[in-house]
Amino acid sequence: MRWKRLIGRTVAGLLTAGLISAGLLPVTTSAAEATDLARGKTVTASGSHGGYPASNANDGKVDSYWESNGHPADLTVKLGADADLDSVVVKLNPDPIWATRTQDIQVLGRTQDGTAFTSLRARAGYVFNPGSNQNTVTIPVDGRAADLQLKFFSNTEAPGAQVAEIQVFGTAAPNPDLTVSALSWSPSSPSETDDITVAGTVRNAGSAASPSTTVNVSLGGVVVGSAPVGPLAAGASAPVAVEVGKRPQGSYTVSALVDPTDTVVESDDANNSRTTASPLVVGQSPGPDLEVRSITSSPANPAVGAAVTFTVAVHNRGTSAVSAGTVTRLTVGSTTLNGTTPAIAAGATANVTVGGSWTAASGGATLTATADATNLVAETSETNNTFARSIVVGRGAAVPYTELEAEKADYEGTLLQSDAERTFGHTNFATESSGRESVRLNSTGEYVEFTSTAPANSIVVRNSIPDAPGGGGREATISLYADGQFVRKLDLSSKHSWLYGNTDSPEGLTNTPGGDARRLFDESHALLTETYPVGTKFRLQRDASDNAAFHIIDLIDLEQVAAPSSQPSGCVSITTYGAVANDGLDDTAAIQRAVTANQNGEIDCVWIPAGQWRQEQKILTDDPLDRGQWNQVGIRDVTIRGAGMWHSQLYTLTPPHEAGGINHPHEGNFGFDIDENTQVSDIAIFGSGTIRGGDGNHEGGVALNGRFGKDTKISNVWIEHANVGVWAGRDFDNIQELWNPGDGIEFTGMRIRNTYADGINFANGTRNSAVYNSSFRNTGDDALAVWSSKYVKDQSVDIGHDNSFRNNTIQLPWRANGIAIYGGYGNKIENNLISDTMNYPAIMLATDHDPLPFSGQTLIANNGLYRTGGAFWNEDQEFGAITLFPQNLPIPGVTIRDTDIVDSTYDGIQFKTGGGLMPDVKIQNVRIEKSNNGSGILAMGGARGNATLTDVTITDSRDGHVLIEPGSQFTISGTPNGARAKR
């Protein structure tokens, strides 16, 4: 160490003499013999220019580099623990194409216990010359630091700092190093009725004493217990034992993690966990064991007021038979129904008809079935007798949360209300609010107070706070109270909102402040530490420390979130492959290894336990032909399950355009690429997009994309801050031999929020597929769409057909439609609730995206449309709540029935000029109430075709109930109740 520092001082002397700074002598040190402490460590920067993120400065490649967005600029390497430093090596690409340049650099450091950076090497000019020093400069330093920072003041050849690679050489300072070893359990071969204890040894392998901490034990990736660990001297060990209780039959990976919250600063944080080579196998206990497998209702999708009966499948997973006579009970709302169960042999299943019926209530309910409800049977497990699922009745999704509007709550603040035309795109907060009203809080003490109508242990707040002065968003808080008692601060952010520009093209909008703004709202969510009963008064209040210039509250969702689900039998956790929850490090490689093992048949399914898991690359299939980032191979024959969308959360910190080496620029660096037969359930996928296309084509990525193929089913997945939630389909010329359009794919229980483009798009010949019982809010293009595009193998066969969008709730699309159909046949839009579109219809049938033609029948039935339609395209085109737009191609075979269209911004139903024919449109049992700035039904001057009205009621339309503009070739037969046609 002493001789290394001596050489460092010699180099410093040469620098002082100006020889090295002038590039006259090469820099040589003993760095080659020291350890590069920066390798694999996180690098951050004060800012980045374009596609040159900070991560490029530590990716092992000199042909990629970080460039700052101006001077001064900081580049910081987080070493993780204190080290005694010798030198810092800064590299640029040695290619002679890089001209000689001088960068003015200061070196600073911060110890692991420090709060501020101090100077380790004074500011000086360093010459990077491809000829004399291969564009590599070594800066001697002498000091101790855990964070090493380079501060750049100038660059003679660029407007910002530039670093291709940074290396930090030195030796680790004395610190503890905690490890876990000798994991075992007792009893060694447990059954389901045994209490299990996991034991191990914690050792401090470091060079300094460690303070007290804890050790967590996980089974199958789920933390099941913890134990304290006292202070340990360097080299000392201590035994630990954790009681993990009884476990269901199955095989569990056993792992232990010491210092799980990283409160102990260690010389090595990567060796704190240990996983056993062999799993813990829990055997089945002898005896009977009843469980409910499914609940079947008749009818499956009942109308409001229908009498519904039920059949419950009861399975005996035990080793001995169960006699007849046990009670199978089903509860739905306030109704309790009982059935008598026959004898069930070991391993057999009986379908139990439950007596009586339930009268279907609007909106649906939760069905809960319990086997052996009166506890007649002594079972080996009494914890698996219950099964629950939702049933949807009438319109909209049966969402598990209760939505409460700010304007209907108690508040002290300013009520914001939209103008009569609900003008969009000019920083219009009320237009972008649910119900076109929200509440603004400007001063300390102002609040909105909601009274809960159901138990809740979580909250989602739709809000708007100001952007940062230079764009890019800012963070803020608001205070949450329950019945007058402070609960917690809620973290709010404007990072994903605030797009600027006067253009209607989303690719033309920017994150840079200036002029009009749109997409003003985002959402914040939090799990609370307790359940609050019905009648709780939840107050969102501006306290003195909640110092955003304003808080605008639109609505909240209150939900009773269930505990994390247990790991299913046969599933293998991603922790087995190296993923670590909540550590902030990229888990992509571990997730990919688990998915590949499942795809190869090595494991039955992939388990994502409760926790936050960072993912910075798309999960797909490695292509041995390496056909490039634009031609990808998706996963197939894979099952991925999580502990619940509130619990198992995948997230990315890097916007796709800054990721570097992402799988596909448009499809992003997160989520899954799917080719066929893939099931994904009960997880969240949170992207980090901030824009769609503008500012250098900065796409926001797609959470779930690919060919999708057959038998793919996605359920209970929460997607947020993506460009697109789901894009099903690839162009035929994208690896032609893998052409495999979606067929029979299903999406249920989806929760898609705050995107920059579509929610779910069925493209490229997707057929026989459905989105059911799902909710969408604040999408940046069509929330749901069928696009029967021409980029298919056979345009006579690969047509988007027989898809259905059923029982979905769609709110606040900030661009484009609630639901759109572009071409195809047999597609259905049924039982949906759509509200508050900013500028486009609730429902549109159109041929303006050059689709394959419409043919056959298209059904729009039993939908509720509230405050929809709007003006777009320089505010010159006014769209109805339902619009048919035949751009040159005809739109035949349309039926619109059993629908309520209420409080439309412009027309209720609109037949638009476009050149194509709209023959034989049937409009039956439709109510159109209050078309604010238009007609009940409008046929434009260039419209062609005819419609027949049956049992149509139109009231309170500003421009007449039925209006056929001069020059129109569209005829309407049948007179709505109380209305006359105008011409």
pLDDT for the residue numbered 920: 97
Tell the residue number behind the tokens 């102002």, with chain if given.
446
The amino acid present at 444, given as its one-letter code, is: T
As a whole number of angstroms, the distance between CA 956 and CA 908 comes to 11
Please report which confidence band the pLDDT of residue 533 belongs to, taking 50, 70 and 90 as the band edges.
very high
pLDDT for the residue numbered 697: 77
Helix (H) or strand (E) holding 11: helix 2-17
CA torsion through residues 483, 488, 493, 496, sign: negative
Distance of CA 795 to the CA centre of its chain: 34
Lowest mean pLDDT among 26-40, 347-361, 850-864, 876-890: 26-40
Q: Give CA separation, 801 vs 100, 225, 688, 941, in Å.
A: 61, 51, 33, 31
As a whole number of angstroms, the distance between CA 135 and CA 164 comes to 10
Of 362 and 899, more confident: 899
CB 106, CB 119: distance < 8 Å = yes
To 10 degrees, the CA torsion angle through 47, 51, 56, 61?
-150
* pLDDT tens digits along 202-233: 999 999 999 999 999 999 877 889 999 999 99
> At residue 661, does pLDDT exceed 80?
no
Going by their DSSP bridges, the two strands 870-872 and 877-879 should be labelled as antiparallel
What values do phi and psi take at 487, rounded to 5?
-105, -55
As a whole number of angstroms, the distance between CA 654 and CA 586 comes to 11
As a whole number of angstroms, the distance between CA 868 and CA 907 comes to 9
Going by their DSSP bridges, the two strands 522-532 and 537-541 should be labelled as unpaired
> At residue 45, does pLDDT exceed 80?
yes
pLDDT for the residue numbered 978: 66
DSSP 8-state secondary structure symbol assigned to residue 621: B
Mean pLDDT of 685-706: 90
As a whole number of angstroms, the distance between CA 921 and CA 632 comes to 42
Lowest mean pLDDT among 432-446, 629-643, 856-870: 629-643
Q: Give CA separation, 784 vs 752, 822, 825, 857, in Å.
A: 11, 11, 16, 19
The amino acid present at 408, given as its one-letter code, is: K
Q: Give CA separation, 404 vs 85, 393, 407, 453, in Å.
A: 56, 21, 9, 9
Question: What tokens appear for 256 in the block?
Answer: 């232990």
> At residue 982, does pLDDT exceed 50?
no
Please report which confidence band the pLDDT of residue 570 belongs to, taking 50, 70 and 90 as the band edges.
confident
Q: Report the candidate in 268, 222, 228 with the shortest Cα–Cα distance to residue 248.
A: 222
Q: Report the candidate in 313, 585, 607, 560 with the shortest Cα–Cα distance to residue 454.
A: 560
What values do phi and psi take at 465, rounded to 5?
-125, 165
The amino acid present at 651, given as its one-letter code, is: Y
Percent of the chain with pLDDT over 70: 95
pLDDT for the residue numbered 29: 36
Q: Report the candidate in 128, 63, 145, 146 with the shortest Cα–Cα distance to residue 89.
A: 128
Mean pLDDT of 97-117: 95
- The β-bridge partners of 670 are none
Total Cβ atoms within 10 A of residue 374:
11
DSSP 8-state secondary structure symbol assigned to residue 40: T
CB 58, CB 77: distance < 8 Å = yes
pLDDT for the residue numbered 8: 29
CB 872, CB 879: distance < 8 Å = yes
Q: Report the candidate in 794, 780, 802 with the shortest Cα–Cα distance to residue 857.
A: 802
> At residue 861, does pLDDT exceed 60?
yes
CB 830, CB 865: distance < 8 Å = no
As a whole number of angstroms, the distance between CA 819 and CA 60 comes to 47
Up-side HSE of residue 3: CA atoms within 13 Å toward CB?
A: 3
pLDDT for the residue numbered 26: 35
Contacts of residue 80, defined as CB under 8 A and 6 or more positions apart, other chains included, come to 41, 146, 266, 269
As a whole number of angstroms, the distance between CA 418 and CA 430 comes to 5
- Mean pLDDT score of the chain: 92
DSSP 8-state secondary structure symbol assigned to residue 592: H
pLDDT for the residue numbered 227: 94
Question: What tokens appear for 226 in the block?
Answer: 């913890």
As a whole number of angstroms, the distance between CA 816 and CA 829 comes to 17
The amino acid present at 621, given as its one-letter code, is: T
Lowest mean pLDDT among 260-264, 429-433, 592-596, 820-824: 260-264
Calculate ∠ Cα 22-27-29, nearest 5°.
155
pLDDT for the residue numbered 627: 76
Helix (H, G, I), strand (E, B) or coil at 694: helix
User: Is residue 966 reached through a cis peptide bond, with omega within 30 degrees of 0 on the bond before it?
Assistant: no
Q: Report the candidate in 854, 845, 789, 849 with the shortest Cα–Cα distance to residue 817.
A: 845
Mean pLDDT of 290-317: 90
Percent of the chain with pLDDT over 90: 83
The amino acid present at 608, given as its one-letter code, is: I
Please report which confidence band the pLDDT of residue 11 belongs to, taking 50, 70 and 90 as the band edges.
very low
DSSP 8-state secondary structure symbol assigned to residue 264: S
Distance of CA 594 to the CA centre of its chain: 20
Lowest mean pLDDT among 435-439, 491-495, 500-504, 879-883: 500-504
pLDDT for the residue numbered 383: 82
Determine the length of the chain.
Answer: 983
**In the chain, what is the straight-line distance between the N-terminal and C-terminal CA atoms, in Å?**
95
As a whole number of angstroms, the distance between CA 909 and CA 774 comes to 25
CB 370, CB 329: distance < 8 Å = yes
Question: What tokens appear for 766 in the block?
Answer: 């997707």
Mean pLDDT of 107-136: 96
Going by their DSSP bridges, the two strands 254-258 and 273-275 should be labelled as antiparallel
Mean pLDDT of 249-268: 89
Mean pLDDT of 863-872: 97
Query: Over the Cα atoms of the chain, what is R_g?
Result: 31
Please report which confidence band the pLDDT of residue 14 belongs to, taking 50, 70 and 90 as the band edges.
very low
CA torsion through residues 843, 847, 851, 854, sign: positive
> At residue 234, does pLDDT exceed 60?
yes
As a whole number of angstroms, the distance between CA 829 and CA 784 comes to 10
Contacts of residue 84, defined as CB under 8 A and 6 or more positions apart, other chains included, come to 1, 143, 144, 170, 171, 172, 173
CB 196, CB 186: distance < 8 Å = yes
User: Is residue 94 reached through a cis peptide bond, with omega within 30 degrees of 0 on the bond before it?
Assistant: no
> At residue 4, does pLDDT exceed 50?
no
DSSP 8-state secondary structure symbol assigned to residue 112: T
- Residue 557 buriedness (CB in 10 A; 0-12 / 13-18 / 19+): buried
As a whole number of angstroms, the distance between CA 259 and CA 790 comes to 56
Query: For residue 5, is it left (φ>0), alpha (ψ between -120 and 50) or beta?
Result: alpha
Mean pLDDT of 1-18: 29
As a whole number of angstroms, the distance between CA 224 and CA 229 comes to 17
Please report which confidence band the pLDDT of residue 700 belongs to, taking 50, 70 and 90 as the band edges.
confident
Query: What is the secondary structure of 382-424 as a DSSP string?
Result: SSS-EEEEEE--SSS---SEEEEEGGGSEEESEEEE--TT---
> At residue 399, does pLDDT exceed 50?
yes
Calculate ∠ Cα 298-300-303, nearest 5°.
95
pLDDT for the residue numbered 415: 98
Q: Rounded to 5, what percent of the chain is helix, strand, coil?
A: 5, 45, 45
Question: What tokens appear for 656 in the block?
Answer: 């796709």
* pLDDT tens digits along 611-645: 999 999 999 998 888 777 777 899 999 999 999 99
The amino acid present at 506, given as its one-letter code, is: P
Going by their DSSP bridges, the two strands 437-441 and 414-417 should be labelled as antiparallel
As a whole number of angstroms, the distance between CA 199 and CA 186 comes to 8
Mean pLDDT of 459-469: 97
pLDDT for the residue numbered 655: 83
> At residue 980, does pLDDT exceed 80?
no
As a whole number of angstroms, the distance between CA 876 and CA 403 comes to 34
Q: Is the pTM of this model over 0.85?
A: no
